[in-house]
Structure 1
Amino acid sequence: MTITVGSTNFAKVEAIKSIFENSEVKSLPVPSNVSDQPFTDEETLEGASNRARHAMELGETELGIGLEGGVVEMSSGLYLCNWGALVDRFGFLTVAGGARIRLPEEVAYELRNGKELGPVMDAFAKKRDVRKLEGAIGVFTGDLVNRKEMFAHIVKLLAGQYQFYKNNHSS
């Protein structure tokens, strides 16, 4: 099977490779067509779906996968959210969401004031490229769950749904 990931982000690409071990996986930088910092589940899911479609079209592979991280405001605070989408060349699309954790108020404050999570996390953690490595989830869970693992869970949900679809809709 051939798959195009709609991102060159290391954590996202490695998450897909870890689940689709026997597939050829390539990555392309494609637009999400949403804000740099998605602020709702709907916007984050839209970004993942757009990335999957663009990856499918530009990569000319059997599957396109898009993964997108965002945040969601709830009455109890601002939470991380993450979504994935998988599309095949025949138009089948499936989606899945993943883990959520509440962000510390000092991080949430920066996001509510227009900053993007990646640079905020670099400053907060006093590290570089947090978004490409452990991610905010890795920082705030003491690396018990890192960004690759978080996205790998979503990719498992996508792969499982796709397999179910193929097994029940083949001619």
Structure 2
Amino acid sequence: MAFPQRKNIKEEKRQQLVIVGSKNPVKISCTDVGFHHAFDSAFLVEGLNVSSEVEDQPIGDEETYLGAFNRSKNAKMVFPEADFWVGIEGGVDEKDGEMFAFAWVVIQNRNGKIGKAKTSTFFLPSVISDLIKGGMELGAADDQVFNRENSKQGNGAVGILTNGAVNRKEYYSQAVILALIPFLNENIYI
């Protein structure tokens, strides 16, 4: 995957602190990758368990976005000393009777600027979507169908269904970088 050229976010020498509103290792790692590819700056990325204030399995674009926003907002409330707060929330929706998966990324900085982006989408097989419609989370449905354990903290549905051709960290990292666009272009994103 090609990444954009790095840009200095500030001429500061201190390491900037990024708090991810989750302890999920994939979400922390993809945020670390995204920030370091986008900026030529020092970052420390840490995860924090905070509530998304939405259902465990968000359904629809609005609920999934709200979950990501709430994670960044709640991370900021719990740890206001940071420089950036990141919320990542995976969700599902339906189109023409088929279910697809995606995630939203919301990033806030200490100046009140907000960046947001959505991953690409991919459609789920009915054996998984039927389990989700029955009340199961996507990760639990993946574990059941593919005989795995805790896949949502690993390669997730996108990695399993693409046989590893797209891994979840890269999938989310791209959306993290896209959500950083307003911070990369502060002069035109006011």
TM-score by length of 2: 0.85
Separation in 2 of the partners of 1:31 and 1:8?
A: 11
Q: Alignment RMSD, CA only?
A: 1.4
* 1:56–1:62 CA contact under 8 A, matched in 2: no
1:85 aligns with 2:106: yes
User: Unpaired runs of 5+ in structure 1?
Assistant: none
Counterpart for residue 65 of structure 2: 45
Counterpart for residue 56 of structure 1: 76
Matches within 5 A, 1:16-31: 16-21=31-36, 22-31=42-51
Separation in 2 of the partners of 1:169 and 1:42?
A: 23
Separation in 1 of the partners of 2:189 and 2:62?
A: 28
* 2:182–2:189 CA contact under 8 A, matched in 1: no
Counterpart for residue 4 of structure 2: none
SS in 1 for 2:72: helix
Separation in 1 of the partners of 2:125 and 2:116?
A: 28
User: Unpaired runs of 5+ in structure 2?
Assistant: 1-15, 37-41
* 2:56–2:137 CA contact under 8 A, matched in 1: yes
* 1:137–1:146 CA contact under 8 A, matched in 2: yes
Counterpart for residue 97 of structure 1: 118
Separation in 2 of the partners of 1:3 and 1:126?
A: 34
1:59 counterpart letter in structure 2: F
SS in 2 for 1:69: strand
Higher CA-based Rg: 2
How much has 1:76 moved relative to structure 2? 4.6
Counterpart for residue 123 of structure 1: 144
2:72 counterpart letter in structure 1: A
How much has 1:126 moved relative to structure 2? 0.9
1:159 aligns with 2:174: no
More helix by share: 1
Gap change, CA 1:106 and 1:87, over 3 Å in 2:
same
Counterpart for residue 87 of structure 2: 66
Separation in 2 of the partners of 1:153 and 1:124?
A: 27
Separation in 1 of the partners of 2:34 and 2:173?
A: 7
TM-score by length of 1: 0.94
How much has 1:54 moved relative to structure 2? 1.0
Deviations 1:127-168 (A, max 9, x none): 11110110100011111111111110110101223221x244
Instruction: Choose from 16, 29, 41 the match for 1:14.
Output: 29
**Dislocated runs of 4+, deviation >4 Å:** none
